[in-house]
Amino acid sequence: MKGSDNARPVLSRSGRRLVFIGAAALLIGCAYDFSIRFQDFDAWMSGVRTMSRLKDESFFGNLMLIFRDDKMRSLGFTMLYLVLGILLGIFGLLPGRGAAKAWSAALAAAALTVFGFFQGIIVFSDPFGILRALPTVVMLAGCILLLLSRLKRRKPPKGPGPGERLDKLRGPSGDRELKVMVSACLIGRDCKYSGGNNLNEDVMAFLEGKLVIPVCPEVMGGLPVPRMPCEISGGRVIAKDGRSMDEPFMKGALKCISIARHERPDMVILKENSPSCGVRSVYDGTFSGRVVPGRGIFADMVVKEGIPVLTEKDFAGYGRSIGDTDDKGH
């Protein structure tokens, strides 16, 4: 098994755990610190309001005047830091694992750490200062791991283009029987998410007389038939109800690529648009039937192995062309 394939779910799980731990620690720590300092802050604000009322002066003018005092300014910036920390902690604990959230949390955690450092709230020579910075550093590390796991998956497709046909990909096989690995649904196996199949007569016509190796990564990953429909969104496989399906899809893809390495097929024929087997396009993750350029989990492994790979669309009309040839021979 390739290390990069195994590293993806590990990076994703570790990143989510670090973000959760960092966000929880930040929220608890800032909320506790805020409750302690709030009395001093409230007394300061009451004094400003009283002064403004007695002198009939602007509240904000007196606020800025008192804010020139180093102690008061330090307290004000500390309270602002704590409020921002509470908001960031809540944001980190909210559901959602997309790249947008990871980027937002990473930038916010870095900005809060820098703000605390330049305002003297975080002092690395002080053990308590280091402890205050730790939650945001942990969150930042988790976000980086999440982004790395997504960058590994979002590589642009490099598989066969739409114009590449069978005669260019077949390669020399001598006199031996041509060996073909194929998505099991294309040859009538009932392993589709709905419980049915995607039987393709053109693919069946091509496979006649060849050694066929049927595989279904999703079933081999432990998913039942029928099952909840799944699509790729933000580099992750999600079910229609929002659950992450990365683990079974990766498990099944690894089993299938292991079979491919052992059997060494001359080519692989996969079901286009599938989150496992899509070669040039996949459904976009909205469950609306819209497809976008991309590659399924197993298809990506096949391409990286250097095995020629096609889809059922590359065989459109193959069965009819065989029939026409037979008719002309009689």
Residue 185 Ramachandran class (φ > 0 left, ψ -120 to 50 alpha, else beta)? alpha
Q: Are residues 133 and 239 in the same domain?
A: no
Total-model pTM: 0.48
Q: Is residue 219 domain-shared with residue 305, that is, in the same domain?
A: yes
pLDDT of residue 26: 84
The answer as to whether 236 is a domain residue is yes
Query: How many separate domains does the chain show?
Result: 2
pLDDT of residue 129: 65
Q: How far apart are CA 56 and CA 141, in angstroms?
A: 51
- In this structure, the answer to whether residues 58 and 143 fall within a common structural domain is yes
Task: Judge whether 160 lies within some domain.
Answer: no
pLDDT at position 161 is 38
**Closest C-alpha among 286, 281, 259, 254 to residue 270:** 281
Determine if the peptide bond prior to 95 is cis (ω within 30°).
Answer: no
Residue at 158 is within a domain: no
Examine the domain organization and report whether 249 and 208 are in the same domain. Answer: yes
Give a yes or no: residue 235 inside a domain. Answer: yes
Handedness of CA 38, 41, 47, 49 (dihedral sign): negative
Q: Distance between CA 79 and CA 309 in Å, rounded?
A: 59
Percentage of the residues of the chain whose pLDDT score is greater than 70: 72
Range of the domain at 295: 166-329
pLDDT value for 325: 41
For residues 250 and 320, state if they share a domain. yes
Assess contact for 244 and 233: CB atoms under 8 A.
no
Which residues of the chain are modeled with pLDDT < 70? 1-9, 41-42, 44-45, 47-49, 51-73, 96-99, 119, 123-130, 150-176, 319-330
Whether residue 187 sits in one domain with residue 96: no
Question: Does some domain include residue 228?
Answer: yes
User: What's the token pair of residue 159?
Assistant: 């598989």
103 in any annotated domain: yes
**End of a domain among 98, 126, 153?**
153
Please return the burial class of 239, using the count of CB atoms within 10 Å of its CB with bins 0-12, 13-18 and 19+: middle
